[in-house]
Amino acid sequence: MKKFIFFGASKLGELAYFSLKDKIEISYFSDNDETKWGSEYYDIPIISPYELQKIQKGNKEVNILITSSYHKEIYLQLKNMGLNNIQIFDIQSSILNPDEVNNGKQISEIFFTKYGIKSNNKLFSSTFFNKFKGKKVTLKIDDLNLGIDGLNDKYTLAYRKVQNSPHYELMLYLHNNWALQNCEYIKRLSIGTLDLREAQIVNDEFLDYTREKYEERVNLLNLELLEPIKVAKINNNWFIIDGKHRAALHCLRGYRTINAVEVTEIMYDSFNFWIYKLMKNKEAEYKKNLSLFEGLYY
């Protein structure tokens, strides 16, 4: 039976544990959160990344399974530490090699709702953007705006500054441990007025996951391992394409600048063009989003 150390003692680690505990030997959990070091997760000791490094140095046969939604950042962290035999946990496929992570379904249906245009399979995920080698830029937080979100003018967040966004308010609520049900982000998410996604189920499990993901982001920011945000330049203004939560966290922590990668070229993809064409059919309802598209196309 293969021996594994799971990196990520959180909700995804729990799912990995119950999915794989009868198939592999789980020797340890590891985590960037130092408050977890020395404790146990499902009776399995949690060790620091430095202890993990020592263990694999002494035994090259030890396998590492990343059980965190931040697999990209953690994979780079572990490789920079000289570690090998690294794999990634995926809920559907159980274990993936790093180069398999982006091989997802590439079909999407887009349609109108009373709030705006929705997609049942958002093609542009964070892992997709990480494959794109754009120009690296350092931007002022105050210059960042929320971009195209598919919502009609009554609900859209387009042109909102990061510090006035639901994503910033969410970070504030998480930082202060306030009741998340009262924050604009959660309210919008639950009815489908946040972005291209349809309404999401917001239950206790989801809220716990949101808190855990926040702690992961904070730990990665402290380690300077958070991925740069992805931005597009439209009419000489900067709009966030991916990384609104990361930008909001930087803002909350008092950062004045943030590392970014310009991915304006991606916005010319046919998926975005189909959204633009749909909006043109109801032009009076989508003036803000259309102004961004037309800043790109004309």
Q: Compare 290 and 108 and report the one with higher pLDDT.
A: 290
Summarize pLDDT for 165-189 with one digit per residue, the tens.
Answer: 999 999 999 999 999 999 999 999 9
pLDDT band of residue 9 (cuts 50, 70, 90) is: very high
> Where is the domain boundary, 43, 77, 100?
100
Q: At 8, which CATH number?
A: 3.40.50.720
Summarize pLDDT for 229-276 with one digit per residue, the tens.
Answer: 999 999 999 999 999 999 999 999 999 999 999 988 878 776 788 899
Query: For the residues 132-146, what does the mean pLDDT come to?
Result: 91
Summarize pLDDT for 191-200 with one digit per residue, the tens.
Answer: 999 999 889 9
Q: Verify that 280 and 134 share a domain, yes or no.
A: yes
Summarize pLDDT for 11-54 with one digit per residue, the tens.
Answer: 888 888 888 888 899 999 999 999 999 999 999 999 999 999 99
Residue 161 counted as domain residue: yes
> Where is the domain boundary, 69, 100, 131?
100
Two tokens, residue 151: 């919502």
Query: For the residues 81-110, what does the mean pLDDT come to?
Result: 61
Q: Compare 143 and 131 and report the one with higher pLDDT.
A: 143
Q: Verify that 95 and 128 share a domain, yes or no.
A: no
Q: Verify that 87 and 123 share a domain, yes or no.
A: no
Residue 105 counted as domain residue: no
Query: For the residues 86-90, what does the mean pLDDT come to?
Result: 84
State the residue for tokens 């991925």.
227
Q: Verify that 266 and 207 share a domain, yes or no.
A: yes
Q: Verify that 93 and 117 share a domain, yes or no.
A: no
Q: Verify that 129 and 82 share a domain, yes or no.
A: no
pLDDT band of residue 107 (cuts 50, 70, 90) is: very low
Query: For the residues 92-106, what does the mean pLDDT come to?
Result: 44
292 vs 275: CA distance, rounded Å: 12
Residue 24: what are its φ and ψ, rounded to 5°? -135, 165
Residue 283 counted as domain residue: yes
Write out the residue range of the structural domain in which residue 35 sits: 3-100
Residue 133: what are its φ and ψ, rounded to 5°? -95, 85
Q: Verify that 67 and 118 share a domain, yes or no.
A: no
The answer, yes or no, to whether residue 292 has pLDDT greater than 80, is: yes
For the chain, the three-class secondary structure string (H helix, E strand, C coil) is CCEEEEECCCHHHHHHHHHHCCCCEEEEEECCCHHHCCCEECCEEEECHHHHHHHHHHCCCCEEEECCCCHHHHHHHHHHCCCCCEEEEECCCEEECHHHCCCCCCCCCEEECCCEEEECCCCCCHHHHHCCCCEEEEEEHHHEEECCCCECCCCCCCCCEHHHCHHHHHHHHHHHCCCHHHCHHHHHHHHCCCCCCCCCCCCHHHHHHHHHHHHHHHHHHHCCCCCCEEEEEECCEEEEEECHHHHHHHHHCCCCEEEEEECHHHHHCHHHHHHHHHHHCCHHHCHHHHHHHHHHHC
The answer, yes or no, to whether residue 121 has pLDDT greater than 90, is: no
Q: Verify that 76 and 114 share a domain, yes or no.
A: no
Q: How many separate domains does the chain show?
A: 2
Q: Verify that 155 and 124 share a domain, yes or no.
A: yes
Residue 49 counted as domain residue: yes
Q: Verify that 73 and 132 share a domain, yes or no.
A: no
pTM more than 0.95: no
